[in-house]
Structure formats: C-alpha cells, structure tokens
A and B are shown apart, each in its own frame.
Chain A
Amino acid sequence: MNLKSIGDAWQSGMAKNITFIVTKDCQLACKYCYLVGKNVKERMSWDTAKAFIDYVLAREDDFREESVVWDFIGGEPFLEIELIDRICDYLKLRMFELGHHWFDSYRFSFSTNGINYHTPEVQRFIEKNREHLSIGITIDGTERKHDLNRVWKQATPDENGIIHPSDRGSYKDVVKNIPLWLKQFPDAGTKVTISSPDIPYIRESVMHLYGLGIHQVNINVVFEDVWQEGDDARFEEQLMLLADEIIDGGWYQDYACSFFSEHIGKPLDPVRDNQNWCGAGRMLSVDAAGNLYPCTRFAQYSLRSKKALVIGNIRDGINPNLLRPFLTLDRTTQSPQKCLDCEVASGCAWCQGENYDAAQTNTVYQRATAICLMHKARVRANNYYWNKLYRKLELEGRREEFERNKRSVEHQTC
C-alpha cells in the first residue's frame, strides 16, 4: 500500500467543489448532525439539476480550476440514486460535447451513511462510474459509540416534514456493507465525528475501525458549542490511550488517524500563516429550489439561528458581490485576540458556516471558538504521540525509514 497517496485529497487545492443537495431527507436522524432542518419535502428535480449544470458548464471562464469534484450530499444522497445517475450521465455528456477542460479531470464524490450501499441501483452506478468515484461511508466506531448518535429517524416526520431521531441504532445496517465498500475502494477513509457524549469511546472506536480494515480514519470534534466542563481532560485521556495502542501495537505503520499530525500545535505567523482555513466561497452548492450557496452549511437546513446566505440562483446566476467577503477572508481578521496570541494555534480548525451561525451579527468574520479547549487537549495528546513514537523508532533504529515513508494526513473537517 502506498501510504503517501491514501491520505491525499484528490486534486487538493486545484479542484472546484460543486455540491448538489439532492435531498434533505435521510434514513437517519443523527443526534449530533448539524443539519437541523432535515425534511422529507425538499428533493431536487431533474429540471433544477439540469438547469444548474447548464449554468455552470456554460461559464467555463468563470470556473477556471483545473479539476472539478461533483459532490452529492443530503440528507442521504443515495436516496436519490436515480436522479444522481441521470445527473452524472448528463454531466459526462455535456462536458464531452462542450470540449470542457473538466472532461478529463472530474470526480463524483459521495459521503453516505452506507445503508443503501449494497442495493442494485447503487451498485450499478458504482460499476458505471468506478474510475471517477470517491465514496466515503460514515461509521463512527464500535456499535455502542456509533449507535449513541447515529440512530434511525422516527417513522413519520412532524407536521412540518421535519424528521426526528428514534431509539434504533444503525450500526448493524452500516457495518454489513463495509467489506463490499473496502473491496471496491480499498484506500477509502471514513469520517468520525466526536461530540461530548462520544468522548469515552474514542479509543475503542478508532481501533475498531482499524480492525474493520479502514486504514484512514478522519476524525474531528464538532464545532458547535456543545462541550461540557471537563470534556477536554477526558478527551486528552482518550487520545493518549489511543496513542499508546496505535504505537504499542504497531498500527502507525499502515493506518492513520487524523487526530495525530506533526503539523498541529505551533504558533502561527500573522503574515505568513494568514490564510483562511475553510473553502466556503470557493465552493458552490445548489439545493432543490435552485438557490446557490457558498457551501452547503449556508443553506437554511444547516442553520440554527441565522437566515440562509443565498449567493444567487440558477436563473439569475451568482451575485459576485456576495462572494467578496468569503474570498477576502483571512485568519487574523476573523480571529479574536486569544487565537492570534495562541501558542498552539496551528491545526485549530473552523467552519465558516458555524462561524456565521454563531456570530453576534450577520457576518462570516467572527470566528467561533467553542473548540478551543478541545484543540488544546488534542495538541497535548498529539505531542505525547509523536514524542513516544519517535523515541520508539530511534531506539529501534527505524526513524529514517519512517520519515521516508510517512504519510501526509488529510485535514478533512467537514
């Protein structure tokens, strides 16, 4: 296995991410899900999808990125596999007919709950588009950890069509599809989300996912202000237990967990390290109504307290003035002083959508800092991990070999 390659995001930095919010429905109603307005009503029509594709492909000069990732998100995207199949066929046809520069450099990307993965419709789609596919199945770890949050929705939505959680966990419905998924995408990684109740299960969950054969575990704490007093200490303890198990068991050689990275926990230079973390504004999303967003996180179903931030629609196009705040964002302008002075600032992430939702005013320039203590706890555990690992490698005379082969860790936070 080429460990260097599996952690790299495809065409990272050179690709335009364009997201179809094909449905706001999902089989699950995960308790930590930031999509607070999931519902059964808003499903994208073919006419909307086609109009959006025609809009984007007709403006090649406005979208000069070398490559494109056509992203499909929900709710659960595979609930709309027929529509997705039609969209992908049309995209391929039109990119070819137009001689578009993306025809030779595109990918279809999915983040799925995995429940429908084995169905004939999904499998036919995978077979047809295999060479251009990236699919991530979300499984949170052990059954008890996974089922703590990732539960089925109630059988019927409320009077507004909003879906609500039931008591039934989804682990067994997902884990049965993991072998097929890994057979088809052996380098695939999974995404794990940690909120306050999940902390005690971090170690066992990452090791469980390794045991299932998943080599890349992308894991992050939620950005929302959900943290309880003492969570940082519990989090640090779990990560140190995880570090011990990964190092003592030799898992670090073939497996990766994004919690541990050599690049985090350093001070940042206000000039040299001033770039924005998040890609909002450089991405583009469309929903069932044909409204356009700088990222899916600005659609109404993602927002608790703010109005949707719509930057245009498929009829009138994008209002470029509404992209200007996003495209001029930098780290220092949006960060409070405590972040600018932070000695362990590198690797501390933020989500522009959460920043907007949590801000005191209507702005994307107020950085939410709910994860501050969690990041600092992560840095302490991360320092422990690398100090322990490098000491072990030096004692074994394998430090140089490790340096030559070590992987780059993917920073996937949303």
Chain B
Amino acid sequence: MMQYLVILLDDTSVAYCHCDNPHRERRLMPPETLRDGIRYAMTHNLMIQFVYPDYDLPQDYLDAIDTIDHHDIVPFPRQGDVAVAENSKLKIENSAGAVVVLRMKKAELFVSGDTVAALLRQVQRLNIVITDLDTFTDADLVPYGALLDRWAALLKEEYLAGRTPQLNLLTDRMMLTAPNHCNAGVENLTLAPNGRFYLCPAFYYTASEESVDPEDIPNQQLLRLDHAPLCRRCDAYHCRRCVWLNQRTTLDANTPSHEQCAVAHTERNASRRLLAAIREKAQFMPEVDIKEINYIDPFDIRKDF
C-alpha cells in the first residue's frame, strides 16, 4: 500500500540514494505541478518527502509546502529532517536530532574509518549509501567487514554508555525483526519536476521516458517482496532491496545482483557480531535473533529453498 510520495522540487534536487543525479541545470517544478502533487498526496493519504535543490526556493513554494505535513530532504549543510552529504569530513553545527545521509564511493568508504567514527559521535543517525555498490568484489568484503567491526566497537561503547547513535549498516539489522526495504513502487512513488510519476528518483534520472501511471503500475507485483524469489527468504532485513539496482545489474527488478547480496550479508554478519558483543555486557534486544549462516549470497543456497 502506498504510504509516501517523494517530490523532487527541482531537477537539481539532491540525490540521496544509490543513483547520482546527472542533472546540472536548474528546472524548478512548476507551481501548479507542486500543488497537484500535494493534492494527490492529501487525497491518497500519503506522507510527502520533499527533496530540495541547493538554492533557496521562492516564498510561494515554501508556503505551498507548508500546507501539508511532510519531511524535508536537503543538501548539507542546509537544515532539514535529513541532510545529504557527499564528504565525510563534515562539520556538524547542531548535532541534536541530526540525521545525515552520507553518499560515498567504495574507495572513499575504505579510507573513511576515522571521519565516520567522528560523525557517529555527533549525529543521531548516519545513513551511509555506497554509490558504486556494483563494483564490490568478493575480495573487498574482507576489508569491508573489518571496517564495520571497527565502527561496531565504537557503537558498542556508545550503547553501553547509554547513548544510541544509529548507523544504518550496523544498527538497523540489530533492531529489525522483519524486512525494512525501500519498497519503491509499492509503498512510495516519486513525482518529478516534469509532472510525471516514477518508481523512484533513480528511474527519473536514468530513464525519464519510463514514467508510470500511479493507478496502474505495470507488473507492480514484481516489485513486492513476495515476488522476489531470493529476497523473500533473506534475513538481511536492513537491505534496501533496491529495485533500480536490480534492474540495472540483473535486468529484472525482482532479482538482486551478487554484489548487493554479498555487501548486505557482510553488514548483517557484522551486526550479528555487534549484537553478541553488546549482549556480553548487558541485556539488549532479546527479541532479535540473527542466526549464524555460512553464505554471503542467498543465490548460493537457492537449491535449499
């Protein structure tokens, strides 16, 4: 069931997920499109997430936005519910309640141990989004696991001290007892500045001709978890199950690539180790059980399904 509407206010609205925004020319959503989008959300009981560009919007836009309950996704250092940055060397002015999305390529991720550790002490929640996930090799998983363990050691100390910073790659799985996927096209849709609906911003960025009718999304069932043969049996609950990445890497929206699965399972296993380490010192999340497994890609055990 649809729950969210993402509204890209401008062609240069900040990219906050796996796909870069290739647009460099400003094109503000026409005011009537904005009003129609808000009206659509109100009539369909959808929570709006407005995605902002890196410039100030006209006052009439701000007034329109204020007519509905919403969340703001803004480029760092602008103030919003979620700030998106592309550089881990951030100076957080006001850490109270800060939720930061940090988009990084693999190469930067592997040298960001200290800066991310520093950020974890400053923000309420840090979402790290790897923007070249498809370039991960199996050899990369070892240093990636070690990096996660390093952050896990810090998080363990924070949790035992009574503070609870969140790092999506480690703490989400630790808190989840069911999948928490992106669910683009099932629970959320995106309205682009051109007035058309897309499954998510990435489809607008990379295939703007592939807009959808929100009342009749073709093969919508294939976007649902129950129609994803690998994912429906998977317990890497924190994985975004990105259907855009699926489409790009396997040519089918319901099938993840090996890289997406292997990275998610490396994170899952690191979460398991973190959970065990915290439990050595204190009772913590007794309802969560992350089992020991001997694979990093459910595809490798598909014959056992």
Contact partner of A365 (CB less than 8 A), chosen from B249, B252, B299, B302, is B252
Q: B residues within 8 A CB of A360?
A: 218-219
Query: How far does the alpha carbon of A289 sit from the alpha carbon of B44 in the complex, in Å?
Result: 51
Cβ of B212 to closest chain A Cβ, rounded Å: 10
Query: How far does the alpha carbon of A28 sit from the alpha carbon of B256 in the complex, in Å?
Result: 42
Please count the residue pairs between chain A and chain B whose beta carbons lie under 8 angstroms apart in the complex. Answer: 57
Does B249 contact A359, Cβ atoms closer than 8 Å?
A: no
Query: How far does the alpha carbon of A329 sit from the alpha carbon of B228 in the complex, in Å?
Result: 10
In the complex, which residues 363-391 of chain A have their Cβ closer than 8 Å to any Cβ of chain B?
Answer: 363-366
Does B219 contact A324, Cβ atoms closer than 8 Å?
A: no
Query: By the criterion of a CB under 8 Å from any partner CB, how many residues of chain A are at the interface?
Result: 19
B225-261 interface bits toward A, Cβ cutoff 8 Å, 1 = contact, 0 = none: 0010110000000000000000101111111111100
Q: Kindly state whether residue B222 has any CB partner on chain A within 8 Å.
A: yes
Q: Is the interface of A mostly helix, strand, loop or mixed?
A: loop
Q: B residues within 8 A CB of A325?
A: 250-252, 254-255
Query: By the criterion of a CB under 8 Å from any partner CB, how many residues of chain B are at the interface?
Result: 20
Q: Kindly state whether residue A243 has any CB partner on chain B within 8 Å.
A: no
Query: How far does the alpha carbon of A359 sit from the alpha carbon of B254 in the complex, in Å?
Result: 14
Q: A residues within 8 A CB of B247?
A: 362
Q: Kindly state whether residue A330 has any CB partner on chain B within 8 Å.
A: yes
Cβ of A79 to closest chain B Cβ, rounded Å: 32
Does A361 contact B251, Cβ atoms closer than 8 Å?
A: no
Q: B residues within 8 A CB of A333?
A: 227, 229, 254
Q: Kindly state whether residue A322 has any CB partner on chain B within 8 Å.
A: yes
Query: How far does the alpha carbon of A320 sit from the alpha carbon of B251 in the complex, in Å?
Result: 12
Q: A residues within 8 A CB of B302?
A: 327-328
Cβ of B299 to closest chain A Cβ, rounded Å: 6
Query: How far does the alpha carbon of A327 sit from the alpha carbon of B298 in the complex, in Å?
Result: 12
Query: How far does the alpha carbon of A324 sit from the alpha carbon of B298 in the complex, in Å?
Result: 11
Q: A residues within 8 A CB of B258?
A: 320-321, 324
Q: Kindly state whether residue A309 has any CB partner on chain B within 8 Å.
A: yes
Does A324 contact B257, Cβ atoms closer than 8 Å?
A: yes
In the complex, which residues 331-371 of chain A have their Cβ closer than 8 Å to any Cβ of chain B?
Answer: 333, 359-366
Given A328-B299, A363-B219, the answer on whether A322 and B229 have CB atoms closer than 8 Å is no
In the complex, which residues 210-229 of chain B have their Cβ closer than 8 Å to any Cβ of chain A?
Answer: 218-219, 222, 227, 229
**Residue of B with least CB distance to A361:** B219
B248-278 interface bits toward A, Cβ cutoff 8 Å, 1 = contact, 0 = none: 0111111111110000000000000000000
Query: How far does the alpha carbon of A360 sit from the alpha carbon of B221 in the complex, in Å?
Result: 12
Cβ of A14 to closest chain B Cβ, rounded Å: 15
Does B251 contact A322, Cβ atoms closer than 8 Å?
A: yes
Query: How far does the alpha carbon of A325 sit from the alpha carbon of B218 in the complex, in Å?
Result: 18
A312-328 interface bits toward B, Cβ cutoff 8 Å, 1 = contact, 0 = none: 00000000111011011
Query: How far does the alpha carbon of A365 sit from the alpha carbon of B256 in the complex, in Å?
Result: 14
**Residue of B with least CB distance to A311:** B251
**Residue of A with least CB distance to B297:** A324
Cβ of B204 to closest chain A Cβ, rounded Å: 16
Does B219 contact A328, Cβ atoms closer than 8 Å?
A: no
Cβ of B38 to closest chain A Cβ, rounded Å: 29
Q: B residues within 8 A CB of A327?
A: 299, 302
Does A363 contact B253, Cβ atoms closer than 8 Å?
A: yes
Q: B residues within 8 A CB of A362?
A: 247, 251-252
Q: B residues within 8 A CB of A320?
A: 258
Cβ of B210 to closest chain A Cβ, rounded Å: 9
Query: How far does the alpha carbon of A59 sit from the alpha carbon of B222 in the complex, in Å?
Result: 34
A71-102 interface bits toward B, Cβ cutoff 8 Å, 1 = contact, 0 = none: 00000000000000000000000000000000
Pairs A-B, 7 closest by C-beta atoms: A325-B252, A360-B218, A328-B229, A325-B255, A321-B257, A361-B219, A321-B250
| Given A327-B302, A362-B252: 18 more A-B contacts, CB < 8 Å | A320-B258, A321-B249, A321-B258, A324-B230, A324-B255, A324-B256, A325-B250, A325-B252, A325-B254, A328-B230, A330-B229, A333-B227, A359-B219, A360-B218, A363-B253, A365-B222, A365-B227, A366-B222
14 A–B contact pairs at CB < 8 A? A321-B250, A321-B258, A321-B259, A324-B230, A324-B255, A325-B250, A325-B254, A327-B299, A328-B229, A360-B218, A362-B252, A365-B219, A365-B252, A365-B254
